[in-house]
Amino acid sequence: MKKNLKFYIVLYLAKLSRIALKLIGRDATYFPGKLAVTLCPDFLGRIDKPKTIIGVTGTNGKTTVCNMIEDVLKENGYEFIDNHLGSNINSGLATALIEGATLLGKQKKELAVFEIDERSSVKIYPYITPTYLVCTNLFRDSLKRNAHTEFISSILSNNIPSQTTLILNGDDLIVSNLSPNNNRIYFGIDRLKTDTDKCENIVRDITVCPKCDSKLEYDFVRYNHIGRAHCIKCNFQSPKINYEVTNIDFEKMQMTIKSKSEEKYDLINNNIINIYNMLATITVLKELGLNQEQINPILKKQKIVDTRYSKEKEGNIEIITQLAKGMNPIACSRAFDYVRKEEGNKAVFILLDDLHEAANSSENIAWHYDTDYEFLNSESIKQILTGGARYLDTYVRLQIAQIPKEKIVHQREETTLVDKLNLKGIDKIFILHDLYSIDLKNQLKKKVKDKILEQNKQTEN
Amino acid sequence: MDKKIEILFPEFCNLYGDISNMKYLHKCIPKANFIETNFNDEPAFVTQKVDLIYMGPMTEKTQEKVIEKLKPYKQRIEQLIEENTVFLITGNAGEIFGKYIENEDGSKIEALGIFETYAKRNMMHRHNSNFIGKYEEIEIVGFKSQFTLGYGDNQKNYFAEVEKGIGLNEQSKLEGIKKNNFISTYVIGPILILNPEFTKKILEKIGIEEPKLALEEDLKNAYVQRLKELKSL
């Protein structure tokens, strides 16, 4: 697509808006791109793009994978543009491209790393051809926006450019069937001791063969539709994995990845979600030409940002905060699974209200019934404390999961929940929070720490 | 005699936590026989007397498969409706019983044609709204989230009169279909958990006298709060 006069005028306006916003101390990570795509809807097609583009899409893990890719590239001296401060829709990508472009619309850097919202495929891929597109997983997400996985996978398959090499989670049968004619590389994790033969989750979005509609037989199930399967009638099966984790040593916190050879990588933490995120990162970086020595030393220093996960000890009690994205049943179910499998006696705070919805409307709570609250029905979980606009709904949901009333504290006001926290015999306290509840999570965490300190003082006296 | 409840195609027709309706109903009537009919099985209602048939929302491709699956049983379904069998059909599952579903390009998928309504898809514009509608004396609360809108005449056989939100489409104030004990509504998700009085009504319809609900008080508290909240928006 050629640059025309309108394109140049819009480019200059967008660049000027960026300078003006910065001068007045405002955030310029969204507006310039929004202005550009509003005034010139095919702006993304007209602006030059870096020679190599890494795109990362999928329901869960895109931000983490992008952050890891960017850190490894940066430490190895690569220069690139990215949208990590802006949005992951067309205007966010436009902002990054505007910032990276000269006044003639040429890109100053040869590499880009873009997080790409799956729902925005229609507005992005007609104009941007990723060299590599990583897809981490496809699950049910906000039902109001994303509807269901069949819809999301079809808009991805209908829009991903045919020249793009796909880097796909081979343990996700929805992901592994995206754009079947594209060149593809699969990553996956071989059967683990914790995998099962039966699905424990409420939701499994692929149960029949996409080729012949016959029943799919799972060779093993990790969670939801993650696992390996084959069709009982035709030749359809999970793909052959190109980058496969063949062993995880949780004691040494190391994993072995088999591709053309076997290599060891250090784990950042023991959560399977993060192991998948690391594996996706390693796969794309290896395909880009980096080697284990360039990747592992940087990757192992990575810390999951505090807004997603944190762990600290106050006295004898661990306080763990974990992001559990509201309206995202699989992310919440993973968080619940993580809590139940941790050792020790636990108390759990649940703050999953979508505060944006709570402020403007009444949240559609259907997603709570796709979420495995049943995982919280565990002997080791001694108390569950839930607050927020939907506290009465959560109370019902917890009881439908057969959790005894006596274990549940529910009230509208979230921060005073801590007053009802019973620390007796508790080894770990989990605060599960939504993306929009970071401040609330911090307040609660501080109050929990104060309560533990106070109790410890009383014990000493 | 224990009640028989048939859940049609639970492996597909459960997009928005909808199967929780049946799990909850099971808590209310633990002795009832819940039959989960998978897609490759013959529905139980073809050869047996069932007291309630439930089907929840599904993907667009699945709608087409389900229409083909149920076509051979159209007469049987019509007979069951005439005989007052209770049907609870939620989300876009109701479209299966209408005349047709129209795609954006104008092509049509012929449905069972039991009712005069039809649906139009718009896959890039999803409709989301809250809902309050009056069914008999009960104010039903819930949510809609759908790619389709319904059209056609449901004046003589609507399910609920809309107080908040939309009916079959944005111009309609009449929601869903009700004929004898057949009820279909675009409301999705845990409709029975959200609406305790409606759940009692369903239980009465299947022949349970003075039904008792599981967690009744807690459900009522959540219902009262939601109704108040939705009315204030």
Per DSSP, the residues of A226-287 read EEEEEESSSS-BPPPPSEEEEEEETTTTEEEEESSSEEEEE-S-S-HHHHHHHHHHHHHHHH
pLDDT for position A28:
78
* A contact test, residue of B127, B192, B193 with most A CBs within 10 A: B193
Report CB contact under 8 Å: A362, B226: yes
Chosen CATH of A5-190+241-299 out of 3.40.1190.10, 3.40.190.10, 3.20.20.70, 3.50.50.60: 3.40.1190.10
For residue A459, is pLDDT > 90? Answer: no
**Average of per-residue pLDDT across A149-170:** 97
- B28 interfaces chain A, CB cutoff of 8 Å: no
**Average of per-residue pLDDT across A143-157:** 95
- The pair of structure tokens assigned to B89 is 């059909």
pLDDT for position A216:
92
- B180 interfaces chain A, CB cutoff of 8 Å: no
**pLDDT per position as a tens digit, B126-184:** 999 999 999 999 999 999 999 999 999 999 999 999 999 999 999 999 999 999 999 99
- Enter the pTM of the model: 0.94
Chosen CATH of B4-232 out of 3.20.20.80, 1.10.540.10, 1.20.1440.130, 3.40.50.880: 3.40.50.880
Report CB contact under 8 Å: B126, A145: yes
Confirm if B116 and B91 have CB atoms less than 8 A apart.
no
pLDDT for position A390:
93
Choose the closest CB to A362 out of B15, B18, B229.
B229
Choose the closest CB to A396 out of B23, B130, B215.
B215
**pLDDT per position as a tens digit, B78-90:** 999 999 999 999 9
For residue A289, with 0-12 CB atoms within 10 Å meaning exposed, 13-18 middle and 19 or more buried, which class applies? exposed
**pLDDT per position as a tens digit, A205-261:** 999 898 888 889 999 999 999 999 999 999 999 999 999 999 999 999 999 999 999
pLDDT for position A306:
80
Confirm if A437 and A355 have CB atoms less than 8 A apart.
yes
Neighbours of B173 (CB within 10 A): 14
For residue A353, is pLDDT > 90? Answer: no
ipTM: 0.97
pLDDT for position B1:
60
Confidence of residue A25 (pLDDT cuts 50, 70, 90): confident
pLDDT for position A435:
87
Chain A partners within 8 Å of B228 (Cβ): none
Per domain, the residue ranges of chain A are 5-190+241-299, 309-460
pLDDT for position A99:
94
A309-460 sits in which CATH class?
alpha beta
For residue A461, is pLDDT > 80? Answer: no
**pLDDT per position as a tens digit, A439-457:** 999 999 999 999 999 998 8
